[in-house]
């Protein structure tokens, strides 16, 4: 069995000098693309929220949209420009897309990314498919529930530094005001604002673009839609295992979004959004290594130690590495972790038996699984890969001339 990690991404758990050079080179190319403005973009789309139409797969509910930031085509186009614009970093070299790459379902294939100053982040980048349905954003902050608020974290955050704009907001806005296209797009996207190029409107536009990241055209979706040949027999067997009482995968990765942390218009579920999966158990006391102590860092509640958001499994094949700190390289590793009911770290400062973590969810109780069953289960997880989403031109970098 060949795992996605073996063929699609790096295999080490460290941000090596070579890897950093590759990613910095990529960022530089993006910077040059933005600065050149070879592409002036399409004609300005409509700014009328009443003209906006969702393009949703069959069976997908309508996403929740805040009343103070209605969808519009102009706002989506503006957000797309901003998402890929390196002007939104302190050093003019990084953008949102530096850590959220379309080919990786808007994750980035590194166990821990680094920001515009080179500072390593404590957690890996979350993927963004169907983020409009995500009721909590980020790995372990129950207070971040709007994409508009989340966008400020990489911009202004200093622990760690990501885009590095803290104290440089006006400098960044000045860069945007110097771009002719933005002077056309912002007024259409925000027609009621006499001076629309503001930090608040930047975050609103980025959030609007991200809400269009709808992914629902995987082999699994086509099979459920009536295409009997879309999923292999192995993947179908894997789905049965996934939903079985023995494995219990679907009790956390539930519904059409494959996560308990999803909500939509009319939803009433109150499923847990964060759980402890027994990834660590330092000294047998349930402790997770700082600074990644999970929900407890926000709530101060001891039993919240090690609780992290239940991520969606859509496009999971390309969002390696896994877990909040990227310490599992492959889908095979992740299945082994859950089969064992928690990870055992045999040596070093994080040593401990995760299956004995006192705060671990009872749903992570371990299970027996044969090699053939494991292969089927991974086949099902791979059937959730939406290749059209990974290449959809609506989500690509608009600054690069085609």
Look at residue 146 in the predicted model and tell me its pLDDT. Answer: 96
| Residue 401 pLDDT exceeds 60 | yes
Instruction: Name the one residue in this structure whose structure tokens are 């680094």.
Output: 114
10 Å CB burial of residue 136 (0-12, 13-18, 19+) is buried
pLDDT-derived band at 112, boundaries 50, 70, 90: confident
Which secondary-structure segment (H or E) carries 353?
strand 352-353
Q: What is the pTM of this model?
A: 0.90
Look at residue 219 in the predicted model and tell me its pLDDT. Answer: 98
Look at residue 43 in the predicted model and tell me its pLDDT. Answer: 82
Q: Angle CA(282)–CA(287)–CA(289) in degrees, nearest 5?
A: 80
Pick from 241, 240, 181: which is nearest to 205 by CA?
A: 181
Look at residue 367 in the predicted model and tell me its pLDDT. Answer: 98
- Residue 101 forms beta bridges with which residues? 107
- Residue 322 forms beta bridges with which residues? 328
pLDDT-derived band at 22, boundaries 50, 70, 90: very low
Look at residue 111 in the predicted model and tell me its pLDDT. Answer: 85
pLDDT-derived band at 11, boundaries 50, 70, 90: very low
Which of 97-106, 265-274, 323-332, 389-398 is least confident? 265-274
Which secondary-structure segment (H or E) carries 391?
helix 387-391
pLDDT-derived band at 270, boundaries 50, 70, 90: confident
- Which domains, ranges and CATH numbers included, belong to the chain? 4-215+391-395 (1.10.760.10), 219-387 (1.10.760.10)
Task: Summarize pLDDT for 46-103 with one digit per residue, the tens.
Answer: 999 999 999 999 999 999 999 999 999 999 999 999 999 999 999 999 999 999 999 9
| Residue 23 pLDDT exceeds 50 | no
Measured torsion, CA atoms of residues 254, 258, 260, 263, in degrees rounded to the nearest 10 = -110
Q: What is the mean pLDDT of residues 373-392?
A: 98
Look at residue 39 in the predicted model and tell me its pLDDT. Answer: 43
Q: Angle CA(327)–CA(332)–CA(333) in degrees, nearest 5?
A: 30
Look at residue 16 in the predicted model and tell me its pLDDT. Answer: 41
| Residue 121 pLDDT exceeds 70 | yes
Which secondary-structure segment (H or E) carries 388?
helix 387-391
More reliable by pLDDT, 10 or 149: 149
Task: Summarize pLDDT for 193-212 with one digit per residue, the tens.
Answer: 999 999 999 999 999 999 99
- Residue 134 forms beta bridges with which residues? 262
Q: How many CA atoms lie within 13 A of 294 on its CB side?
A: 27
- C-alpha of 223 from chain center: 25
pLDDT-derived band at 313, boundaries 50, 70, 90: very high
Task: Summarize pLDDT for 182-194 with one digit per residue, the tens.
Answer: 999 999 999 999 9
């Amino acid at each position: 069995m060949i795992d996605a990690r073996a063929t699609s991404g790096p295999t080490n758990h460290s941000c090596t000098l070579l890897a950093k050079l590759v990613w910095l080179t990529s960022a530089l190319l993006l910077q040059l693309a933005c600065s050149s403005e070879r592409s002036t973009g399409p004609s300005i789309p409509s700014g009328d929220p009443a003209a906006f139409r969702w393009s949703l797969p069959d069976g997908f509910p309508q996403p929740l949209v805040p009343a103070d930031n209605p969808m519009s085509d102009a706002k989506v186009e503006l957000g797309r420009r901003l998402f890929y614009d390196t002007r939104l970093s302190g050093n003019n070299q990084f953008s949102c897309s530096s850590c959220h790459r379309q080919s990786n379902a808007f994750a980035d294939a590194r166990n821990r990314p680094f920001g515009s100053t080179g500072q390593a982040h404590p957690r890996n980048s979350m993927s963004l498919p169907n983020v409009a349905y995500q009721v909590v954003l980020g790995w372990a902050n129950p207070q971040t529930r709007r994409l508009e608020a989340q966008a400020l974290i990489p911009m202004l955050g200093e622990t760690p530094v990501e885009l590095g704009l803290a104290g440089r907001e006006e400098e960044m806005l000045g860069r945007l005001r110097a771009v002719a296209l933005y002077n056309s797009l912002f007024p259409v996207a925000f027609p009621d604002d006499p001076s629309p190029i503001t930090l608040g409107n930047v975050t609103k536009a980025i959030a609007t673009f991200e809400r269009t990241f709808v992914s629902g055209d995987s082999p699994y979706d086509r099979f459920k839609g009536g295409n009997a040949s879309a999923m292999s027999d192995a993947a179908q067997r894997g789905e049965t295992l996934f939903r079985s009482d023995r494995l219990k995968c679907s009790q956390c990765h539930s519904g059409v979004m494959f996560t308990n942390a999803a909500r939509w218009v009319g939803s009433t579920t109150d499923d847990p959004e964060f759980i402890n999966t027994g990834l660590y158990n330092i000294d047998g006391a349930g402790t997770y290594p700082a600074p990644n102590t999970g929900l407890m860092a926000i709530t101060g509640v001891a039993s919240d130690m090690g609780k992290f958001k239940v991520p969606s499994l859509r496009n999971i094949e390309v969002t390696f590495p896994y877990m909040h700190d990227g310490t599992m390289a492959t889908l095979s590793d992740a299945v082994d972790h859950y089969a064992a009911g928690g990870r055992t770290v045999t040596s070093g400062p994080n040593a401990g038996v995760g299956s004995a973590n006192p705060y671990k969810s009872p749903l992570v109780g371990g299970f027996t699984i044969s090699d053939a069953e494991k292969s089927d289960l991974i086949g099902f997880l791979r059937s959730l890969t939406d290749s059209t989403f990974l290449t959809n031109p609506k989500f690509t970098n608009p600054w690069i001339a085609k």
